[in-house]
Amino acid sequence: MSTTQTLLKTLLQNPSSIRTRSQAKQLHAQIIKNKGPSPFHLSMILSIYSNLSLLDDSLLVFNTLQPSPPSLAWKSIIRCYASHGLSFQSLASFVEMRASGKYPDRYVFPSVLKSCALLMDLRLGESVHGCIVQLGMDFDLYTGNALMNMYSRLESLDECGGHRCASKVVDEIPEPERIVECRKELIGSNEFIDRIASEEYEVDGRRLHFYGTSNGEAGSGGRSYDNSNEFRKQIAGVDRNVNLIQMNDKLPQRNMDGAVFDHSHAKINTSIRKVNKEALRMDSVRKVFEIMPKRDLVSWNTVIVGNAQNGMYEEALMMVRDMGNANLKPDSFTLSSVLPIFAEYMDVARGKEIHGYAIRHGFDADVFIGSSLIDMYAKCTRVEDSYRVFCLLPQRDAISWNSIIAGCVQNGMFDEGLIFFRQMLMAKIKPRHVSFSSIMPACAYLTTLHLGKQLHGYIIRGGFDDNVFIASSLVDMYAKCGNIRIARWIFDKMKLHDMVSWTAMIMGYALHGHAHDAISLFKQMEMEGVRPNYVAFVAVLTACSHAGLVDEAWKYFSSMSQNYGITPGLEHYAAVADLLGRAGKVVEAYEFISSMHMGPTGSVWSTLLAACRVHKNIELAEKVAEKIFRIDPENIGAHILLSNVYSAARRWKDASKLRISMRAKGMRKKPACSWIEVKNKVHAFVAGDKSHPYYDRINEALKVLLEQMEREGYVPDTNEVLHDVEEEQKIYLLCSHSERLAIAFGIISTPAGTTIRVTKNLRVCVDCHTATKFISKIVGREIIVRDNSRFHHFKDGKCSCGDYW
């Protein structure tokens, strides 16, 4: 018998033997390793996590089963929410389970009834009781016990009504004395098999169907009850598309106390709908809302939030207007729900109107309103306004800190984002998984590996390393900080992979020039049944571009639309155009860009313009530049590229004329800058920089290296100096390039054998690329340089890009 079959047999026979999180995790990992996660195996693992009250682990598995979780998964997550006291979430999941056509059983209702009791909502409990009666579950021992407990807890809400209901429940259940004498065998393997009754799974290509066999004995006046077959008979006539709210119309219209169940009671309907964004289908919500003759502020807010969180922004705004027409004023909950809509629309004007309303009505001190305002201003690129709101908050919680951190990072203010993260830690605010997901891109962009490692330590200590989103961020961070090996180690260590993690690893390989590894991983993703998306194709095409794999790139570009129905976008066209240009097929690249189904942007044409410079095709370069200037007359990069084309061709007058025109327009070239991290401190250099405290030592080291390089056969490529100066001056200018200064500083500041990591904001020039190969061989070190396109790993006189970049 295979390992997977053995594990499966163990689970079915004795699931209660798994008693610790460590054991459950090991079992989870073994199932994934040996067979891969099927809905059947994942549902069983989820049930075990739920039995152990491991909410985070349960949610992680449950999310992987979307969009159609099996019944066992629904039952487990409902039970887990209830055990943690998350009553609204438990009820929301119950409603969504019914909306998806799955039926509750004896193991679901006790959790749902417990949630009603915790919410102190007797009428909601009565509504659930009606559902139980409708499904014929009122004779079940477990369900009856739960009903009795709920009514006993809530009897004070309705004088003695709760007590009478509890007594009636007992009277209607056969052998009431057995309610508190549940046999132990019902908690063992039979209970586990019973939970997956009527569920079908695909395992090893075969359809498996399980039926429960734990039968209750009929007592006096009672009846025999089988929890699988009898249950299916009882629910056979119930429409599979009916959810809890819709079922209210079919339930007995009197509760157990004889009182009429009235739809006009706002609290009943609102309580049912107080759920998270994915809990209810909005058509059901609106249907119930429309038939309510009396609507309170909570009811309005519920529908507004539901619309907003389901992307139905205009409907949400219309509801806000309608609420005003009904003489109800928005409260803080309404405002915090509407602000994200203006953030999505980038409508800062209307967002400021809401801000003004909040100030006038005293809501601006509310931490939720403040966090929503911070997020709204940041998404509208008004980070300074976000900062002002943040500073004026009398109290700041984790949400407000996360909002300002994410706002900074999203707007490219990476240093500021890191500063806010440190201040959050100093304020004794414990980071959440969102905190790490927000700040990780800052470390990736700044290539601050030591900070990334510190964050990784926080993540491990906080127990967030199993979170798939954080793990994906770590993969991306390590790859962009130059350590592709650790990135792959984290990727392999992940229990589950989502599209983000696959794409992060593939793009990591692409950036490091490991095209064949990227393609292999892309194929593995397809083999595991993961459908590539838009971004995944950008990653694999980038990998092909950086390695010159023209045929492979054409294959993937064609398969996007033919096999996956994905329309190629600007990023895909840019990657293929860049590849053709690097391969010297500039005319073919021009024709390819001209055939785009959407209008080419300046950035797409710029990739071809850069290729024209490399391959010295001046005529085509001028033609391409003209197209760019027509689209974007102020495109600084295109002006500089064309100027460099003229300079490389020794057309100094044309180059000078273009630069004079740029100065007249106020256009300035972004200076080349390189930085290196030494002893947890970042040192930045610009070309010809003499300001560094160690400049004399750096300059001396460069002179020594130049002499050694020339003895090894290095010849400076003065064609890379785009200035009309003497040859000797050109060599000096080459040695003063920013990456050369950073590498020399790394050599004199770190122990022998240490890997040197340098980042540059522009493309590495041909001469510096050649020089770095010589330097790596002379000093016996690996030198990793990241430019604005990719990583270059220099070692023993060779580069990982194969001189193709």
- Annotate 526-580 with DSSP letters as a single string: HHTTPPP-HHHHHHHHHHHHHHT-HHHHHHHHHHHHHHH-PPP-HHHHHHHHHHH
Query: What is the pLDDT at residue 267?
Result: 38
Sign of the dihedral through C-alpha 21, 22, 25, 26: negative
User: Which residues lie across from 794 on neighbouring strands?
Assistant: 783, 799
Q: Which amino acid is at 99?
A: A
User: Which residues lie across from 686 on neighbouring strands?
Assistant: 673
Which residue stretches of the chain have pLDDT < 50?
A: 12, 156, 158-164, 167, 170-280
Maximum distance among all Cα pairs of the chain, rounded to whole angstroms: 111
Query: What is the pLDDT at residue 165?
Result: 56
Nearest to 62 by CA among 54, 770, 150: 54
Contact 591, 581 (CB under 8 A): no
Query: What is the pLDDT at residue 257?
Result: 32
Contact 27, 48 (CB under 8 A): yes
Query: What is the pLDDT at residue 282?
Result: 62
SS (HEC) of 373-385: HHHHHHHCCCHHH
Q: DSSP letters along 114-182, please?
A: HHHHHTT-HHHHHHHHHHHHHTT-TT-HHHHHHHHHHHHHTGGGGTTHHHHHHHHHHHHSSSGGGGG--
Q: Which residues have CB under 8 Å from 607's CB, separation 6+?
A: 574, 577, 578, 581
Q: pTM, whole model, 2 decimals?
A: 0.63
Nearest to 628 by CA among 616, 612, 615: 612
Q: DSSP letters along 69-106, please?
A: --HHHHHHHHHHHHHTT-HHHHHHHHHHHHHTT----T
Q: What's the gap between Cα 341 and its chain centre? A: 20
- How far apart CA 599 and CA 577 sit, in angstroms, is 14
Place of tokens 């079940």: 140
Query: What is the pLDDT at residue 535?
Result: 95
Neighbours of 120 (CB within 10 A): 13
**Per-residue pLDDT reduced to its tens digit, 157-216:** 544 444 445 545 544 444 434 333 333 333 333 333 333 333 443 333 333 333 333 333
Pairing mode, strands 756-760 and 783-786: parallel
Query: What is the pLDDT at residue 293?
Result: 67
